[in-house]
Amino acid sequence: MFAPSEDQQALIDAARAAAEAILGPTVREDDEAERFRRDAFRRLGEAGLCGIPTAEAWGGLGLGYLEYAMVLEEVAAVSAAYGVALAVSGLPQVILARYGTDAQRERWIPGLAAGELLGGFALSESGSGSDAASLKTTARRVGDEWVLNGSKFWITHAGVGDVFIVMARTGGPGARGISAFIVPADAPGVSFPKREEKMGMRASPTGEVLLEDARIPADHLVGKEGEGFRIAMSALDSGRITIGAISVGLARAAWEYASRYACEREQFGRPIIRFQGVGFMLADMAMRVEAARLLVHKAAWLRDEGRPYTHVAAMAKCTATDTAMAVTTDAVQVLGGNGYIREYPVERYMRDAKVMQIVEGTNQVQRLVIARHLERTFGPR
């Protein structure tokens, strides 16, 4: 776990080379134009990166979350937006692999794992973010169909994705009244009226998924009726590892860029890394990146071993995303005036890092998950 095996190193090298070749040349333009390139995503699929933990039988690489974390770090060090694309399009795969029927898996997973299809996950609504169990979107069974009504907010890949796992209420209030559905983007009654303009992660499209008497076949229910919240939470446990890994990639890119800069940039007759104020800042950045990576890898390893990992995934997500925010902010500081202008990448790293403290459960929600685990462990039985 402390050093990649030969196979893992080969995977890391291949992921880095693919990301640099496919995403590197346009990363700045894509951010400025708020442009997501499906062809680039498809090429990541051709390089084998869209289904790392998905079984080989469904077109994935059949590897663990540890390898998935290593790949996401490399991709995110070039483009965090495409790291997010891989992670979010991975969510329907992980959900269907665990809860789907054979027919659902065969219909959707191979296309997603190949990067031919782009997936999404629709839980949040304008009135239910952290309190996800209060969602109001409804699904009604009418004959051979489910009819969905509601509006999903801040959904990654809204308007560009092909298929979404949508959580909707089929029963009474609270978590047990929620079910999960496969909603193809071209189903009747599905539209994408709003694309958000964001501070960062601008190459990753985010928007509204509007469901107005949206009709999907009855067999598009995932798992059992009433099981949707549990499905969403278990997917987010996995997803939080991926968000942690992407954040390590962002933090590493910022720290490495700032380190190189501080070795070259001279003031008062010497490289600025030799000034303790700068050198110690870079040392702190290095420590934080290494520590965050270890925690992300531990969460991934626990998942791969089939051990409980919910609270460690929350720790990893929280630590890695806080690290990314702190390290990218310090990278801007090390570069000074150059850190604040768009010619250099560190201001983009800093803008991209901010949202990682918010998505897939705010860092306040992660602390809640950890505190609840502590109460179960140490509280009276």
- Judged by CB under 6 A, does residue 286 bind ligand CAA? no
Give just the sign of the alpha carbon dihedral 351, 354, 355, 356.
positive
- Indicate if 73 belongs to the active site: no
- Count residues contacting ligand CAA (CB under 6 A)? 24
Residue 129 CB, nearest approach to ligand CAA (Å)? 7
Residue 335 CB, nearest approach to ligand CAA (Å)? 30
Q: Which is nearer to ligand CAA, 28 or 372 (CB)?
A: 372
- CA 93 vs CA 38, 90, 248: distances in Å: 18, 5, 23
DSSP state of 179: E
Q: Which is nearer to ligand CAA, 95 or 273 (CB)?
A: 95
Residue 123 CB, nearest approach to ligand CAA (Å)? 5
Give the start-end residues of each E strand in the chain.
Answer: 119-122, 138-142, 145-156, 163-169, 178-184, 190-191, 206-217, 221-222, 266-267, 270-271
Q: Which is nearer to ligand CAA, 180 or 285 (CB)?
A: 180
Q: What span, in angstroms and rounded, lies between the C-alpha atoms of 8 and 262?
A: 31
Q: Are 79 and 19 in contact (CB under 8 A)?
A: yes
Query: Angle, to 10 degrees, between the axis of helix 310-335 and the axis of helix 346-356?
Result: 150
Binding residue (CB under 6 A) for ligand CAA from 124, 170, 247, 319: 124
Binding residue (CB under 6 A) for ligand CAA from 66, 88, 211, 356: 88
- Judged by CB under 6 A, does residue 321 bind ligand CAA? no
Candidates 122-130, 255-263, 293-301, 335-343 — which segment interacts with ligand CAA by CB under 6 A?
A: 122-130
Binding residue (CB under 6 A) for ligand CAA from 8, 234, 329, 363: 234
- H/E stretch holding 373: helix 363-378
197 Cβ neighbours under 8 A, 6+ residues apart: 34
Q: Which is nearer to ligand CAA, 52 or 258 (CB)?
A: 52
Residue 5 CB, nearest approach to ligand CAA (Å)? 30
Q: Which is nearer to ligand CAA, 253 or 365 (CB)?
A: 365
Which residues in the 11-70 window bind ligand CAA by CB under 6 A?
A: none
Nearest by Cα to 95 from 191, 207, 179: 179
Nearest by Cα to 209 from 186, 238, 226: 186
- Judged by CB under 6 A, does residue 155 bind ligand CAA? yes
In angstroms and rounded to an integer, the radius of gyration of the C-alpha atoms of the chain is 21
Nearest by Cα to 112 from 159, 179, 44: 44
- Judged by CB under 6 A, does residue 85 bind ligand CAA? no
Catalytic-labelled residue, pool 73, 74, 347, 360 = 360
- Judged by CB under 6 A, does residue 123 bind ligand CAA? yes
Binding residue (CB under 6 A) for ligand CAA from 63, 86, 221, 359: 359
- Judged by CB under 6 A, does residue 237 bind ligand CAA? yes
- Judged by CB under 6 A, does residue 242 bind ligand CAA? no
Q: Which is nearer to ligand CAA, 16 or 317 (CB)?
A: 317
Binding residue (CB under 6 A) for ligand CAA from 69, 114, 132, 251: 132
Q: Are 303 and 67 in contact (CB under 8 A)?
A: no
- CA 25 vs CA 34, 50, 322, 341, 345: distances in Å: 15, 20, 28, 19, 13
Residue 212, φ and ψ in degrees, nearest 5? -120, 100
Catalytic residue numbers read: 360
Residue numbers at the binding site for ligand CAA (CB under 6 A): 88, 121, 123-124, 130, 132-133, 155-156, 175-176, 229-230, 233-234, 236-237, 310, 359-361, 365, 368-369
